[in-house]
Structure 1
C-alpha cells in the first residue's frame, strides 16, 4: 500500500531542549520581555478550542492551524453541496479566540447558533453559513477567515491546514473474523467511529486521486516563525495526526526552532483510540512522523496510570513529560483552560507569562510542583491490581 506520509529515517533520541530555549532574543532583535509569545496550535474541534482558550491567557499572538477533513454534520453537508472547505472546525477556532468585549461575545454566540426545524437550514450553524458565504465570495480561505476574525474581534489568526478539503483514509483491523485482516476505510466520520483498531492513516486531496495535500503557505510560515507549537489534544487520528501528513507542514514542524509541545487527551476516545494508553498515543505519533522531535509532553496526572511508561515514551521523542491536574472538575474529559495554561508555562520554563497574561506566579509554581511526580507514583487515585502487576489497563 502506498503511504502518502513524508518519509525519513528515525533520528536518535535527542536530549530535551533546555527550558526556555528558543524563547529569548528573536531574529528582529526583540526579546520575550517586549514581544508576546508567538504560539501556534494545531488540531481541530473541541481539543483545539481547549488549547486556544488556554493560550489566549498567555499571549495575544496566537495562530490556530485547523484540519480540513470533516465530512459530517453541517460541515459535511456544505462541503458536499458547495465543494468548500468544511467550516465547522474553523468556526470553533474563531469562537475560541473571539474578543471578550460585548461585541465579540455577541458575534461568538451568533456564530454558534444553530437553526432548528426540519427545513434545509436545520442543523446548520450560522457561523458555518457565514464562512461558506465568505469562501464563495472571496475565493480564498485565508482572506475569508481574516474577514471573519474582524467580526469577532479575534486577536490572532485562524488558518486552514490546507486550502483544499481533504479525505482521511485509514488501515483498520478487527473488523473481520480474521482479526489481523486489514481493511481500508475512508472519511473522517468513518475513521472516528470505527469499531475496529486504527493502525495508520493517510491523506488525500478530495476529488484529486493521487495528489498529495498542499499546505496553506501562511500556516507553514506561522510554524516556522513560532516560539512554541502545540499539537493536541483532540481526536488523535482525525484532528491531530493529519498535520504530520502534509509534506510542507511536516517539514516545517521538523525544522522549526520553536519549542514543540504535545498535549495528551484526558481519556481515550470511543472509536478511533478506544483502549489506548497515554504512551500509545505518543507511539502512534512517532510512527507517523519518525523525524519529529518534541520538547515537552503535557498530561493530566489522573489520566496516566503508569508515569514511568509515559516518561519513557516521551523520551523516545526527545521530550520531558509534565504531569499536572489539568482536567475540569465538572467534566473530567475536558481540559481546564487556566490549568492547561499554567502547565504550559511550567513546561516552557517560564515562571511568568507574556504581558497579556491573567495568570499569577503562584499558580505557575503550583504547576511546577505538580509536574514532579516520583517514579511509579500516581496522584489522585489508587492503583488497581493489574497496575501493580505491571499490566496496562488502557490497552
Structure 2
C-alpha cells in the first residue's frame, strides 16, 4: 500500500487533464491522494468503438471518458466489478464487435438525458467513482497535425494529417497540432473546476493527441493561464512511436511551451529512469517557472507504464506543500 493510501487524503481540489491510458494512470493515483478530484478529458478520438459511435450518432467520442470513469472506480468488489463491466468489449462477427460496454452506456444516457455532464455524473454514481469526469468540450473535435517525413518521396516536406488515430500513428515527426473547429465551446463545468482548483495536473499521455489539445482550446487555455491553481506536468516514461519519436523529456516540455507560451508551471514530475540529462531538464523546467521532481514512477516490468502506487506517493510528496 502506498504511503498516500495509508494516510488521510489531502483536502485539496485537483483537476487532471488528459486522455487515454496516461490520464487513467494519473487518476488511479490521485484518487488515493486528494478528496476532490475532477478529470477533464479530450474528445477527439476518431477510431475504434468511439469513432464508430461518433460517426453514427454525432456524439462525443466516449472512450476516453469511459477510461477515466473506470480509473476512478474503488478497490472494493463493487468498484472492481463495475470497472470490468465498463471496459468489457464484445467479440463477434457482427456489428457489435469491439464495442465497449461503457461506451454504449454513456451514449445511452446522453440520448436519454440530452446532457453530457449530467449523464457522466449518473455513470459515476452507478460506479461509485471517486471523482468526477468531464469532457473538455461539448462538441466532437478533430486533431490536425503538420508532420515532417510522412511523404516517402520527400522526407523534408510537411504533410497535413487529420484525426487523432492518424496523428498518433503517423510515420513522420509531428511538428505542430491544432484543433478543428478552432474555437469550440468548452465544457462550462470544466472551466469552473479549473478556476476553483488548488492544483491542475497535465499529463502523462500521448503528447500531441491527449495532453497538448487542452492548451489548444482557447477558453480552456485562458482558464488554465488565469487560474491561481498550481500546475504540474507529469512527463511520459519514454517517447511514443509516431508522435514523439526521438523526444527527450526536455523536448516534451519545450513543445508544450511552444503551444502555450503563456502557461507557467510549478512542478515538473519525471521518472528517474527516463531522465538522461538532469541538469538540462531542470533548466528547461526552471525556464517555465517550475521545480523538477524526479522519482521512481515506473511499474518496473520493462513496459513504459506509470505505477499508480508510486505515482500516488510522488503526488502526495508535493501536492500538500504550501
State the TM-score, normalizing by the size of structure 2: 0.94
Deviation at residue 156 of structure 1 after TM alignment: 1.6
1:45-60 pair list within 5 angstroms: 45-60=20-35
Match of 1:287 in 2: 258
The aligned length equals 314
Residues 167 and 204 in structure 1, CA contact (< 8 A), matched pair in contact too: yes
Q: Is the aligned partner of 1:244 residue 2:215?
A: yes
CA distance in 2, matches of 1:349, 1:250: 25
Q: Which runs of 5+ in 2 are unaligned?
A: 1-7
User: Is 260-269 or 109-118 further displaced after alignment?
Assistant: 109-118
What do the CA deviations read for 1:237-256 (whole angstroms, capped 9, x no partner)? Answer: 00000000111110111011
1:36-51 pair list within 5 angstroms: 36-51=11-26
Structure 2 CA distance for partners of 1:240 and 1:34, relative to 1, 3 Å = closer
CA distance in 2, matches of 1:218, 1:44: 17
3-state SS in 2 of match to 1:224: helix
Residues 73 and 80 in structure 2, CA contact (< 8 A), matched pair in contact too: yes
Deviation at residue 45 of structure 1 after TM alignment: 0.4
Residues 232 and 264 in structure 1, CA contact (< 8 A), matched pair in contact too: yes
3-state SS in 1 of match to 2:311: helix
Q: Is the aligned partner of 1:182 residue 2:149?
A: no
Residues 202 and 245 in structure 1, CA contact (< 8 A), matched pair in contact too: yes
Q: Higher strand proportion, which one?
A: 2
1:146-157 pair list within 5 angstroms: 146-157=121-132
Q: Is the aligned partner of 1:191 residue 2:162?
A: no
Residues 104 and 151 in structure 1, CA contact (< 8 A), matched pair in contact too: no
CA distance in 2, matches of 1:200, 1:63: 28
State the TM-score, normalizing by the size of structure 1: 0.77
Residues 33 and 315 in structure 2, CA contact (< 8 A), matched pair in contact too: no
What do the CA deviations read for 1:44-102 (whole angstroms, capped 9, x no partner)? Answer: 00000000011011013110000000001111111111111101100000001113332
Residues 10 and 34 in structure 2, CA contact (< 8 A), matched pair in contact too: no
Deviation at residue 35 of structure 1 after TM alignment: 7.2
3-state SS in 2 of match to 1:170: strand
Q: Which runs of 5+ in 1 are unaligned?
A: 1-32, 206-210, 352-395
3-state SS in 2 of match to 1:38: strand
Deviation at residue 135 of structure 1 after TM alignment: 1.1
CA distance in 1, matches of 2:251, 2:89: 37
CA distance in 2, matches of 1:35, 1:191: 38
Structure with the greater alpha carbon radius of gyration: 1
Residues 136 and 190 in structure 2, CA contact (< 8 A), matched pair in contact too: yes
Q: Is the aligned partner of 1:259 residue 2:200?
A: no
What do the CA deviations read for 1:74-131 (whole angstroms, capped 9, x no partner)? Answer: 1111111111110110000000111333223222111111101111111011101111
Deviation at residue 277 of structure 1 after TM alignment: 0.6
Deviation at residue 259 of structure 1 after TM alignment: 1.1
Residues 9 and 32 in structure 2, CA contact (< 8 A), matched pair in contact too: no
CA distance in 1, matches of 2:258, 2:10: 36
User: Pick from 126, 129, 146: which aligns with 2:104?
Assistant: 129
